[in-house]
Structure 1
Amino acid sequence: MTSFYILCRWLHFAALMSLVGAGVYTTLLAPARYRADLTRRLMPTLVVACWLTLLSAVLLLAAQTGKMGEGWQDTLDVDIWLAVLQTQFGRVWQLQLALAALGCLALLLRGVPRQRTLLLFAALQLAGLAFTGHATMLEGAAGLFQRVNQMVHLLSAAFWAGGLLPVIVLMQEVRRPQQRYDAVRTLMRFSRYGHLAVVLVVVSGAVNGLLLLGWPPASFRLYSQLLLLKTLLVGAMVGIALYNRYWLVPRFQRSGEKAQQQFINSTLAEIGLAAAVLMAVGVFATLEPA
């Protein structure tokens, strides 16, 4: 049951971040004249991520029910479901399910309203995750600060990690002469604001660690070990991002296809690291900070 819970949590975070990342491109980053074309390219990602968000939200509630009860058999127990829905997690999760369902319904819209609605509902779901788990450990003013900091961490991480898959799509668009100019402009905007997102991820993550563990940490148990691993993975992602931006991009005109393919390959590696980070985040939820 614990493994199932971790997998569902990983899937939920990955789907939400993909939805936010693709939504940011199609509503904010792409030039207005290019948004419709880019939306058509990213629509499969948006649709799959949207439905996975709803599915994983339902599965996470079922997993939480099984954890609160005595295992798989209690995932079908109505009384335990009702008990879970009365907890802090359950109250927040009712809103998560509603937003996820509304997001799927928003797929029936067309054009700009659909893209803005999808982005809004996905961002609200990510922000809502700050009211579950370890982000709710503190009370009062400290608790408010902790939740706001967690929102910043989640949303900036979604901009960065969730924006990587569209980078692959845009690199393919760069090879099409009629789309090259707008695709490059979109990539440069992502790079510009991505610098800020990376800084916010690192700073807010450090603040989260200090709030939960203090300094110096009293112990170095599994939670702290995983936090160190997550930090190293994020550091590797930062290294790849800097290599892409300041080593490969300036070589696009000189090396052409070779540098572009290297950029795509390293971005795929960055996506793999992001997936590993999210798996560590899923495990965090099952451990006590120590």
Structure 2
Amino acid sequence: MDHSHEGGSTAEIVTRILLYLGVFALVGAGFFARWIGPELSKQRRAPLMVLLIGGALLAVGSSLYLAYHIVWMLGGPSGEVYLSYLTQTQQGNLLLVRLLLVVALLGLGLGLPSRFDKAVFALVALSLLATLTLTAHAGAWGKTALPSHLVHTAVVVAWGGSLLALGMLWNGHPELLAPVERLSRLGGMAVVVFVLSGSLLALIHLSGSQENFAISLPRAAANLTASAYGSALIRKLLGVAAILGTAALNRWWLLPAVQSGNRRAWLGWLIRLEALLLLGVLVLTGFLATTSPPR
């Protein structure tokens, strides 16, 4: 892989994509098993375990490689420098916390549900997503961007991660209808939240200022078409539009037909299509996350 000293190298882009995919799989599988499809998760335990363990391995491996990549850029991947980065820098500390949270989430997913399982899972999952927020562009922009990014990420991971889990566990049985209905209701609420929070983040970053809530609509509009960050954002928005179009088709046309006893086979195909489109958006997010916003 290319180890360019400039931001957005091939190594960093690929690793970011794998990190997002791992977190989506790990958190999404746990969220799905608790709130969206608990009955289906008990019946399809094996593929759910694949999603949980695979997501955890991706999250851990990509995080460690990102640290290695940063240490390489700082002067060489020696053990002493690597250890100093992990223990003496804010990013390194966040990475160590992320690894502990990934292990905790995996343990919650593999273990048996308890009385306080949902509350503990939600707290640990939000803490894990916070480590992503603090090491993203929002971490440098501060105040308004930080909570906006965390809310945006949490909603997208809950809905999108559950979508990945449903696509993985899909087997065409009639009991899938209840999880699909729950996911559809969640998607309706999630769209509103992540569109609003995503729009606010885009305005903050495209305004090119790190001042507190210094949003400039004319500057943001100009940077949308005149900056590399704006171009990457447009590509991501096109991918999101494709997902929303497919979700709307499921929600307003296909799901009512399935509830009436028709076109059940089509539902599985469209859910898998949504999941594939989501993977494409994760790839585009990797490019966006490694592209510096305009200053």
Classify the TM-score, shorter chain. Answer: 0.7 to 0.9
Which structure 2 residues correspond to residues 202-221 of structure 1 after superposition, within 5 A? 202-214=195-207, 215-216=217-218, 217=220, 218-219=222-223, 220-221=226-227
After superposition, the C-alpha distances for 1:3-46 in whole angstroms (9 at most, x for unaligned) are: 12211111111111122222112112336x66533545522211
**Contact 1:20/1:119 (<8 A) preserved:** no
- Name whichever structure is richer in helix by fraction: 1
1:173 Cα deviation from its structure 2 partner: 5.0
1:50 deviates by 2.0
Q: Is the 8 A contact 1:88 1:132 kept in 2?
A: no
1:172 aligns to what SS in structure 2? coil
Contact kept in structure 2, 1:64 and 1:84, CA below 8 Å: no
**1:109 counterpart residue number:** 111
In 1, distance between residues paired with 2:289 and 2:115? 35
Asked if 1:53 corresponds to 2:59, the answer is yes
Q: Tell me if structure 1 keeps the 8 A contact 2:36–2:162.
A: no
Amino acid at match of 2:94: V
1:7 aligns with 14
Distance 1:34 1:80 in 2: 43
Corresponding position of 1:65: 71
Alignment of 1:232-251 (within 5 A): 232-251=238-257
Distance 1:41 1:188 in 2: 21
Structure-2 change in CA distance of 1:118 and 1:67 (3 Å): farther
Q: How does 1:91-102 map to 2 (within 5 A)?
A: 91-102=93-104
Contact 1:23 1:115 in 2 (8 A): no
Provide structure 2 residue ranges, at least 5 long, that are not aligned to the other structure. 4-8, 208-216
Aligned residue in 1 for 2:161: 162
Offset, 1:108: 5.8
SS of structure 1 residue aligned to 2:23: helix
Partner of 2:131: 128
Give the deviation of 1:52 after TM superposition: 2.1
Q: Which amino acid aligns with 1:95?
A: V
Code of the residue aligned with 2:32 in structure 1: it is Y
More off after superposition, 20-29 vs 119-128: 119-128
Name stretches of at least 5 consecutive residues in structure 1 with no aligned partner: none
For the Cα contact (< 8 Å) 1:19–1:122, is it kept in 2?
Answer: no
**Per-residue CA distance 1:88-144 (angstroms, 9 max, x = gap):** 322322211221233345566334479756665343211221111310223xxxx22
Per-residue Cα deviation, 1:196-229 (whole angstroms, up to 9, x for no partner): 1122111111110111112222432111001011
8 Å contact kept, 1:6–1:282? yes
Q: Report deviation, 1:279.
A: 1.8
Amino acid at match of 1:78: E
Amino acid at match of 1:185: A
TM-score after normalising by structure 1 = 0.82
Please tell me the root mean square deviation across aligned C-alpha atoms, in Å.
2.7
What's the CA shift for 1:64?
Answer: 2.2
Query: Counterpart of 2:144 in 1: which secondary structure?
Result: helix
